[in-house]
Amino acid sequence: MKSIAIYPGTFDPFTNGHLDIVKRAAAIFDKVVVAVLINGAKKPIFSVEERVSQLKECLKPFANVEVESFDGLLADYMTKRNINVAIRGLRAVSDLEYEFQIAHTNRMLKKDMETVFLMPSAKYTYLTSTIVREVYSHGGRIKDMLPENVERELIRVYGG
Ligand code: ADP
């Protein structure tokens, strides 16, 4: 039987930290579904369609990675897709409390669900989508924070 995992997130925008986690997951599981949460961000900088298309482009080199979007509860979507493992990234202890709550809630909602935590490379432990948005909105340098195509799109839509 093939192992399959889902990596859910808002990914607004998808950062090099997210990419690092996808690479690690793709090396462990036969198939990884990266799932963009619809309605995750109140005022997104990129629409879900834009994010899905950016992710598809940047994850093209990974033959066992697919990109989708989903709405509602992750547990329900996983049941529908017949997936039992969810991947989450853990940057630091500060992420743990929030992730712990989500993982336990998900397990309550879906008994056969496991959450697997992966650590990114140390150089991405500071990186969040919020930090990127903040730095960019104040004209700061976002080089090396985003995959090339996402950075290009950000500059194309919002200016350099
Ligand atoms: P959410 O809104 O669901 O928290 P995010 O898009 O912010 O979604 O993040 C999705 C997942 O990726 C979360 O598990 C988050 O902890 C993880 N993550 C975010 N940034 C990084 C990073 N720099 N390194 C590793 N994991 C990360």
Q: 17-45, pLDDT tens digit by residue? A: 999 999 999 999 999 999 999 986 678 99
User: Quick check: bond before 13 cis, omega within 30?
Assistant: yes
Fill in the amino acid letter for 19: L
133 part of the active site: no
| pTM, to two decimals | 0.95
42 part of the active site: yes
Q: Which residues pair with 118 in a beta bridge?
A: 89
User: Which residues touch 8 (CB under 8 Å, ≥6 apart)?
Assistant: 35, 37, 70, 74, 86
Give the pLDDT confidence score for residue 106 in this predicted structure: 97
The domain covering 4-158 belongs, at the CATH homologous superfamily level, to HUPs (3.40.50.620)
In this structure, the residue with its CA closest to atom 17 of ligand 1 is 89
Give the pLDDT confidence score for residue 39 in this predicted structure: 83
CA distance 22 to 5: 10
Q: Report which ligand 1 atom has the smallest distance to the Cα of 117.
A: 14
91 part of the active site: yes
Residue ranges per structural domain of the chain: 4-158
Give the pLDDT confidence score for residue 84 in this predicted structure: 98
Contact indicator for 9, 48 with CB cutoff of 8 Å? no
What pLDDT, in 10s, does the model give residues 99-151?
Answer: 999 999 999 999 999 999 999 999 999 999 999 999 999 999 998 999 999 99
Give the pLDDT confidence score for residue 56 in this predicted structure: 98
CA distance 20 to 37: 19
